[in-house]
Amino acid sequence: MASDTSDFRTGMCIYLDGEVYSIVEFQHVKPGKGGAFVRTKLRKLKTGQNLEKTFRAGEKIESAYVERKKMQFLYRSGDEVVCMDMDDFEQHHFPVGMFGDRAAYLIEGMDVQAVVVDGQVFGLELPNFVEQKVVETDPGFKGDTVTGGKPAKLESGATITVPFHINVGDVIKVDTRTDEYLERTQTGG
Q: Where are the domains of the chain?
A: 2-63, 66-125, 129-186
Give domain 2-63's CATH architecture: Roll (2.30)
Q: What is the pLDDT of residue 125?
A: 87
In this prediction the pTM is 0.69
Answer with the residue of higher pLDDT: 48 or 3.
3
Identify the DSSP state of 98: G
Q: What mean pLDDT comes out for the span 14-33?
A: 89
Picking from 44-48, 99-103, 179-183, which range would have the lowest pLDDT averaged per residue? 44-48
CATH class, domain 129-186, is mainly beta
CATH topology match: 2-63 vs 66-125? no
The model's confidence at residue 100, banded by pLDDT at 50, 70 and 90, is confident
Identify the DSSP state of 32: S
The radius of gyration computed from the CA coordinates of the chain, to the nearest angstrom, equals: 20
Q: Which fold has domain 66-125?
A: OB fold (Dihydrolipoamide Acetyltransferase, E2P) (2.40.50)
Asked if 130 and 176 touch (Cβ cutoff 8 Å), the reply is yes
Q: What is the pLDDT of residue 113?
A: 92
Asked if 61 and 5 touch (Cβ cutoff 8 Å), the reply is yes
Q: What are phi and psi of 3, to 5 degrees?
A: -135, 175
Q: What is the pLDDT of residue 140?
A: 67
pLDDT at 82 over 60: yes
Asked if 99 and 81 touch (Cβ cutoff 8 Å), the reply is yes
pLDDT digits (tens, 9 = 90+) for 33-60: 888 999 999 988 777 788 999 999 999 9
Report the greatest alpha carbon distance in the chain: 62
Q: How far apart are CA 88 and CA 90, in angstroms?
A: 6
pLDDT cut 70: percent of the chain above it? 95
CA angle, 127 then 175 then 167, to 5° = 120
Q: What mean pLDDT comes out for the span 121-150?
A: 80
